[in-house]
Amino acid sequence: MTALAAIALLTLAAAAIALALRDLIHSALLLIASWVGIAAFYLWAGAEFVAFAQVLIYVGAISMVVLFAVLLTRPPTGPATREPSGRAVPGFLAGGAVLGLLAGAVLSSPLPAGTGAAPAFGVRELGLKLLGPHAGALLATAALLTVALLGAVVLAAARGKEDAS
Amino acid sequence: MNPPAADPLAAGLLERLPLLARDALTGALPEPWRWWANSLLAILAIIFVFSSLFALLTLTERKVLARVQNRPGPNRAGLPLTRFRLGGLGQPLADGIKMLTKEDIVPRGADPVLHFLAPVVLLALSLLTFAVIPYGRLLVPVELEAGVLYFFAAGAATELALFMAGWASRNKYSLLAAMRALAQLISYELPLLLAVVPVVLLAGSLSTTGIVAAQAGWDLGFVPRWFILTPWGLASFLIFLTAALAESNRSPFDLPEAESELIAGHLTEYSGFKYALFFMAEYLGMTALAGLGVTLFLGGWRAPLPFLDFVPSYAWFGLKLLALLFVFIWIRATFPRLRIDQLTRLAWKFLVPLALLNLGTAALWALTAGWSPALQPLRWLGAAALVAGPFVLLGRGLTAGLRPRTYRFA
């Protein structure tokens, strides 16, 4: 339980400081630290595969996209500062809405009450579950990501045309 | 190290020698302490072995590059305090002392914390990847069910450290290097993973020991069943090799540190031991990827011929690893560096489609495993055609209209 408390504290602290910092790159790096904390939580919970996937995808790939976006949209002149913007209220509203949605979903899902031995769950069982009962959700996620990718390509192509003309 | 499930007594004495040495050291300890001591010993062994390999590798690389370029290479520094030169064998030691005693410079405008953290994070992540590689029949530091995934998770964050180094230096060349490092990672992570997926598919396991176990046995009595000796395996190995070169920032993909255009890129503002740490991490990363390549495609620690089984398995692993590292150095001596647009185009238009097609070929290979011996030549020919056809067609299509560049001097 101490380990869980330490992991939770580090993850939440990293996320909170990331929100408070003015420097976008520092924020992004701390955000990555909090993603590592979430992976550590998965490891603590015994979900090896999910933990490694979390590190591979979030720390390895999504962090790159975030940093790339920051560097491409801001003039890269070293440690830059961010002006306070008037978007705090909408930001808090959007964040609170997401929190409410997730909390509602978690609280309303039926969880098995028994706290006996955790089921032994290997990579193979995970794969069979994902492609068996949950194939629909997997396909929906894949379609969503593909649409997002196509949207990014369309945006980039439109930008390229503007530059050329 | 935790020995795998195989019966250790069945192996020869040489095979068990590392384990016996370990037990002699830690055997007297009570159980929980013994586990800790064994793990610590494994970590120390990995650090010691691969640091020495790094030292010798720098010398080998300089020597080989020099021989390729028809010059002798480093040949002055010999054994310290003696007159023996031994062809420059003392060069790594001399380099180490030089690096340690150099002044550690941090630029005034730099971000001191990130500037310090970058080499540390890079080295730590490079060392983590060594944990899941099976070095021998009984030498697996950590047995993980998702070992291959662990390897890539630990290795994926290395370019993040390069970015930290480039950005924290507050130097335009370093920042350009950081951007290049990110672009390179995003481009080459995909072919690297896609080249590994067929192996996982055919081995039916994500664990490194399971993949080595899947390459056991002999065809026709003497041809090893390594994955590189199948059509899809060869294609996967070549894609893996290319992407691994890019992942470890090796020439011809060393764009982030391109000496002649970016003044060594993210290394520009580093001096002394931090600089040495970067180099160490680069070579360790290269060695780890080569080790994974040996494990996935070259049969891991298995002997290449049945009667050579008496040689201990870790010796075979070492030999294959050194051979693959030599190929890396050879490639560096041979190919010129790519431009950034050529680099990303090679990844997205050539390697990724080929890797995806190869995944289909591997799936077909797995489905046709039960064909009768009479149909086996057809299976081999079909798979070979599926590998070679797209390679030739795609290569032709992408290079159509390109001719050797002509230079005009004004």
The arithmetic mean of pLDDT across residues B250-270, rounded, is 71
- pLDDT for B256 equals 67
Choice among A50-54, A72-76, B244-248 with the minimum mean pLDDT: A72-76
Question: Is the Cβ pair B175, A123 closer than 8 Å?
Answer: no
B109 vs B354, higher pLDDT: B354
Question: What residues of B are in contact with residue A123 (Cβ under 8 Å)?
Answer: 145-146, 206
Pick the residue from chain B with its C-alpha nearest to A56: B153
- pLDDT for B114 equals 83
Token pair of B380, please?
């081999």
The arithmetic mean of pLDDT across residues A1-27, rounded, is 85
Per residue in B147-185, is it b (16+ CB within 10 Å) or e — as a string? bbbbbbbbbbbbbbbbbbbbbbbbbebbbbbbbbbbbbb
Q: Comparing C-alpha atoms, which of B331, B299, B317 is closest to residue B228?
A: B299
Please answer whether residues B228 and B237 qualify as being in contact, where contact means their C-beta atoms are separated by less than 8 angstroms.
yes
Residue B266 has pLDDT above 80, yes or no: no
- pLDDT for B4 equals 44
Question: What residues of A are in contact with residue B149 (Cβ under 8 Å)?
Answer: 49, 52-53, 56
Question: Is the Cβ pair B186, A61 closer than 8 Å?
Answer: yes
- pLDDT for B9 equals 46
Please answer whether residues B333 and B65 qualify as being in contact, where contact means their C-beta atoms are separated by less than 8 angstroms.
yes
Residue B365 has pLDDT above 90, yes or no: no
Token pair of A87, please?
């978007």
The arithmetic mean of pLDDT across residues B362-382, rounded, is 81
The string of pLDDT tens digits covering residues B61-88 is: 888 888 888 888 887 777 777 777 777 7
Q: B68 to chain A nearest CA, in Å?
A: 36
Q: Comparing C-alpha atoms, which of B122, B126, B120, B109 is closest to residue B174?
A: B109
CA distances from B50 to B14, B94, B135, B204, B376 (A): 21, 18, 12, 30, 42
Q: Provide the ipTM.
A: 0.74
Please answer whether residues A8 and A38 qualify as being in contact, where contact means their C-beta atoms are separated by less than 8 angstroms.
no
Residue A103 has pLDDT above 90, yes or no: yes
Q: Comparing C-alpha atoms, which of B131, B126, B124 is closest to residue B2?
A: B131
The string of pLDDT tens digits covering residues B43-52 is: 888 888 888 8
Residue in A23, A30, A56 to test binding to B, most B beta-carbons within 10 Å:
A56
The string of pLDDT tens digits covering residues B191-242 is: 888 889 888 888 888 888 888 888 877 777 777 888 888 888 888 899 999 8
Phi first, then psi, for residue B161 (nearest 5°) are -65, -40
Per-residue pLDDT band for B89 (boundaries 50, 70, 90) equals confident
Residue A48 has pLDDT above 90, yes or no: no
Question: Is the Cβ pair A65, B156 closer than 8 Å?
Answer: no
Pick the residue from chain B with its C-alpha nearest to A25: B167
Per-residue pLDDT band for A101 (boundaries 50, 70, 90) equals very high
A37 vs B109, higher pLDDT: A37
CA distances from A75 to A23, A69, A81, B172 (A): 13, 11, 11, 12
Residue B299 has pLDDT above 70, yes or no: yes
Q: What's the whole-model pTM score?
A: 0.82
Per-residue pLDDT band for A99 (boundaries 50, 70, 90) equals very high
Burial of B3 from C-beta contacts in 10 A (0-12 / 13-18 / 19+): middle
- pLDDT for B1 equals 41
- pLDDT for A94 equals 92
Per-residue pLDDT band for B373 (boundaries 50, 70, 90) equals confident
Residue B3 has pLDDT above 50, yes or no: no
Q: What is the mean pLDDT of chain B?
A: 81
CB atoms within 10 A of CB B266: 32
3-state secondary structure of B223: strand
The string of pLDDT tens digits covering residues A55-92 is: 888 887 788 878 877 777 665 454 455 556 677 788 88
The string of pLDDT tens digits covering residues B92-121 is: 888 888 888 888 877 887 788 888 888 888
Question: Is the Cβ pair A29, B150 closer than 8 Å?
Answer: no
- pLDDT for A74 equals 63
Please answer whether residues B291 and B50 qualify as being in contact, where contact means their C-beta atoms are separated by less than 8 angstroms.
no
3-state secondary structure of B218: strand
Residue B5 has pLDDT above 50, yes or no: no
- pLDDT for A102 equals 93
Q: What is the mean pLDDT of chain A?
A: 80
Q: Which of B164, B170, B179 sits opposite A78 (nearest CB)?
A: B170
Is any Cβ of chain B less than 8 angstroms from the Cβ of A59?
A: yes
d(CA B69, CA B368): 48
The arithmetic mean of pLDDT across residues B136-156, rounded, is 82
Is any Cβ of chain B less than 8 angstroms from the Cβ of A46?
A: no
Taking any CB pair shorter than 8 Å as contact, residues of chain B touching chain A are 109, 111, 114, 144-146, 149-150, 152-154, 156-157, 159-160, 163-164, 167, 170, 175, 178-179, 182-183, 185-186, 189, 206
The amino acid occupying position B36 is: W
Q: Comparing C-alpha atoms, which of B273, B274, B276, B255 is closest to residue B264?
A: B255
- pLDDT for B2 equals 43
CA distances from A139 to A96, A108, A163, B167, B307 (A): 28, 24, 36, 38, 50
